[in-house]
């Protein structure tokens, strides 16, 4: 289901989509605050990341010396 299809709906699928979008936005904001404007490869990595990876990134950004530390596997 696409993002537009979830507007005004409260289904489990839409809730998960909204949560995923929120995690992406939170990590992007934290990364930009910490490291400045993100290069294209970092933005693409955030957009493609799973919710679990985004959650891990939100924790890693606290201690990361650079972007590579946040995205380590």
Tens of pLDDT, residues 46-62: 999 999 999 999 999 99
The angle that helices 40-48 and 12-35 make with each other, rounded to 10 degrees, is 150
pLDDT at 1: 45
- Res 42: pLDDT: 96
- DSSP 3-state assignment of 11? coil
Q: What is the pLDDT of residues 9-24, one digit of tens each?
A: 666 666 667 788 999 9
The pLDDT value given to residue 71: 85
Q: Residue 41: left if φ>0, alpha if ψ -120 to 50, beta else—which one?
A: alpha
pTM above threshold 0.75: yes
Please say if the pLDDT value at position 38 is more than 60.
yes
CA–CA distance, 73 with 69 (Å, rounded to integer): 9
């Amino acid at each position: 289901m696409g993002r537009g299809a979830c507007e005004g709906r409260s289904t489990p699928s839409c809730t998960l989509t909204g949560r995923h979008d929120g995690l992406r936005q939170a990590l992007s904001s934290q990364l930009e605050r910490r490291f400045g404007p993100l290069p294209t490869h970092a933005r693409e990595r955030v957009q493609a990341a799973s919710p679990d990876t985004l959650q891990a990134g939100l924790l890693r950004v606290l201690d990361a010396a650079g972007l590579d530390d946040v995205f380590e596997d």
